[in-house]
Amino acid sequence: NAGVMQNPRHLVRRRGQEARLRCSPMKGHSHVYWYRQLPEEGLKFMVYLQKENIIDESGMPKERFSAEFPKEGPSILRIQQVVRGDSAAYFCASTGGASGANVLTFGAGSRLTVL
Amino acid sequence: KQEVTQIPAALSVPEGENLVLNCSFTDSAIYNLQWFRQDPGKGLTSLLLIQSSQREQTSGRLNASLDKSSGRSTLYIAASQPGDSATYLCAVGGYQKVTFGTGTKLQVIP
């Protein structure tokens, strides 16, 4: 069991480019969370997805950010027209069921740097 | 809306000391509470999970307690070691959402 896999681990983009971050949950997990961690700050919830459904996106910025979790393949967090303030570590976590009952398992994170 | 607070924000102790990290939350309708450790530039490692029906969990030198009615959890670290230096995060599991505290940055001085 490879755990939660995130890639790329490090991504550098220039302002205005697009960033795509991928998350493959643990085998058997169908629930994915994305969190953002700004430098020297805590983890902020962004979005909670199940396969083919966005359950809660209350933490997502209204513009430029989108997330999906297709029936096949990894979950994708997409940031369009990146700005310097998007530089952060983006963590994905997966769980086997509704968050309340299950342990969150985190990936190692994707660190985005916007030049 | 669940709010999770961790006190202190930072803590520095000499090696060998026992210490307590605190986590408080505003909504007691939780499913579980999880303690994580995060090393600089790294991901999160789960330390302990306490289900809402439980009062405490132990793993090695770590003991976590949960008092739902008062909205508090503590993480007790016995005989601290320099390798314990990290940021410790508590995460409160509600229905379809997990809310994190801002963490306690621990430094254990040899």
The answer on pLDDT for B28 being more than 70 is yes
For residue A101, the model assigns a pLDDT of 54
How confident is the model over A88-112, as pLDDT tens digits?
999 999 987 654 456 788 999 999 9
How confident is the model over B59-102, as pLDDT tens digits?
999 999 999 999 999 999 999 999 999 999 999 988 777 888 98
Written as six digits, the tokens of B80 are: 């601290």
**Of B51-55, B95-99, B105-109, highest mean pLDDT:** B105-109
- The Cβ-side half-sphere exposure at B102, using a 13 Å CA radius, reads 11
Residue A99 and residue B89: Cβ atoms within 8 Å? no
For residue A97, the model assigns a pLDDT of 60
Q: Percent of chain A, pLDDT > 90?
A: 68
For residue A3, the model assigns a pLDDT of 87
For residue A9, the chain B residues in CB contact (below 8 A) are none
Q: Tokens 């985190």 belong to which residue?
A: A106
Q: Percent of chain B, pLDDT > 90?
A: 77
Closest CA to A23 of A78, A64, A62, A63: A78
How confident is the model over A51-81, as pLDDT tens digits?
889 998 999 999 999 999 999 999 999 999 9
Distances (CA, A) of B95 to A34, A91, A100, B70: 16, 20, 5, 19
Residue A108 and residue B43: Cβ atoms within 8 Å? yes
Collect all residues with Cβ–Cβ distance below 8 Å to A58 and sequence separation of at least 6.
Answer: A45
For residue A99, the model assigns a pLDDT of 47
- What is the spatial distance between Cα A55 and Cα A64, in angstroms, rounded to a whole number? 19
Q: Percent of chain A, pLDDT > 70?
A: 93
Residue B98 and residue A109: Cβ atoms within 8 Å? no
Give residues 17 to 36 of B whose Cβ lies within 8 Å of A: 30-32, 34, 36
